[in-house]
A and B are shown apart, each in its own frame.
Chain A
Amino acid sequence: MASSAFNTGGSLPRRQFINRVMGALLCLSAAVALTPLLLVIGFILANGISGINLDLLTKLPKPVGELGGGMGNAFLGTAILIALASLFGVPIGVLAGIYLSEFGNTGFARILRFLTDVLTGVPSIIIGIVAYTLVVVPTHSFSAVAGGVALAIIMIPVVTRTTEEALRRVPNALREASLGLGVHEWKTMMYIVLPAGLGGIVTGVMLAIARISGETAPLLFTAFGSRFWQDGLGNPIAAVPLQVYKYALAPYKDWHDQAWAAAFILMMLILILNVGVRVVTRSGFQKIR
Chain B
Amino acid sequence: MDITLTTLQAVAVEEREETVTRVSKGLVVEKLGAYYGNFLAVADVDMTIRPNKVTAIIGPSGCGKSTFIRCLNRLHEVVRDARVVGKVMLDDEDLYDPRMDPVAVRRSIGMVFQRPNPFPTMSIYDNVASGLRLNGVRNRGLIAEKVELSLRQAALWDEVKDKLKKPALALSGGQQQRLCIARTIAVDPSVVLMDEPCSALDPISTLKIEDLIAELKQELTIVIVTHNMQQAARVSDYTAFFLGNEKVGAGELIEYGPTRAIFTNPADPRTENYITGRFG
- Chain A-chain B contacts (Cβ-Cβ < 8 Å), number: 75
Q: Is A182 an interface residue (CB 8 A)?
A: yes
Shortest Cβ gap from A225 to chain B (Å): 43
> How many residues of B sit at the interface, in one of the four size bands?
20 to 34
Decide: A177 and B117 in contact? CB cutoff 8 A: yes
Decide: B75 and A288 in contact? CB cutoff 8 A: no
Q: Return the contact of A181 from the options B120, B121, B130 (Cβ within 8 A).
A: B130
Q: Is B180 an interface residue (CB 8 A)?
A: yes
Shortest Cβ gap from B79 to chain A (Å): 9
Q: Return the contact of A287 from the options B80, B121, B130 (Cβ within 8 A).
A: B121
Tell me the bound Cα distance from A179 to B119 in angstroms.
12
Decide: A181 and B134 in contact? CB cutoff 8 A: yes
Q: Return the contact of A176 from the options B113, B130, B135 (Cβ within 8 A).
A: B113
Tell me the bound Cα distance from A106 to B129 in angstroms.
35
Decide: B103 and A174 in contact? CB cutoff 8 A: no
Most buried by B among A105, A176, A195, A196: A176
B115 nearest CB neighbor, chain A only: A173
Contacts of B110 in A (CB 8 A): 180-182
Decide: A173 and B131 in contact? CB cutoff 8 A: no
Contacts of B78 in A (CB 8 A): 175-176, 179
Q: Is A192 an interface residue (CB 8 A)?
A: yes
Contacts of A105 in B (CB 8 A): 80
Contacts of A174 in B (CB 8 A): 117, 119-120
1/0 per position for B105-141, CB-CB distance to A under 8 A?
A: 1111011010101111100000000110011000000
Decide: B107 and A182 in contact? CB cutoff 8 A: yes
Q: Is B183 an interface residue (CB 8 A)?
A: yes
Q: Is A58 an interface residue (CB 8 A)?
A: no
A contact face: mostly helix, strand, loop, or mixed: helix
Decide: B113 and A177 in contact? CB cutoff 8 A: yes
Shortest Cβ gap from B5 to chain A (Å): 34
Chain A interface, number of residues (Cβ within 8 angstroms): 24
Decide: A182 and B183 in contact? CB cutoff 8 A: no
Decide: A180 and B111 in contact? CB cutoff 8 A: yes
Q: Is A289 an interface residue (CB 8 A)?
A: yes
Q: Return the contact of A192 from the options B103, B115, B119 (Cβ within 8 A).
A: B119
Q: Is B104 an interface residue (CB 8 A)?
A: yes
Shortest Cβ gap from B109 to chain A (Å): 9
Contacts of B104 in A (CB 8 A): 182
Tell me the bound Cα distance from A68 to B230 in angstroms.
86
Q: Which of B13-43 contact A (CB under 8 A)?
A: none
B122 nearest CB neighbor, chain A only: A195
Q: Which of A42-92 contact B (CB under 8 A)?
A: none
Residues of chain A touching chain B, judged by Cβ–Cβ distance below 8 Å, are 105, 171, 173-184, 187-188, 191-192, 195-196, 198, 287-289
Given contacts A181-B187, A182-B105, A192-B130, 14 further A-B contacts (CB under 8 A): A176-B78, A177-B113, A180-B73, A180-B110, A181-B130, A181-B134, A182-B107, A182-B108, A182-B131, A183-B103, A183-B131, A195-B121, A196-B119, A287-B121
A-B contact pairs, 11 of them (CB 8 A): A173-B113, A176-B113, A177-B113, A180-B73, A180-B184, A182-B104, A182-B135, A182-B187, A184-B103, A196-B120, A287-B120
For the complex of A and B, the 8 pairs showing the least CB-CB separation, nearest first, are A182-B107, A181-B131, A180-B111, A173-B117, A182-B106, A183-B134, A195-B121, A177-B117
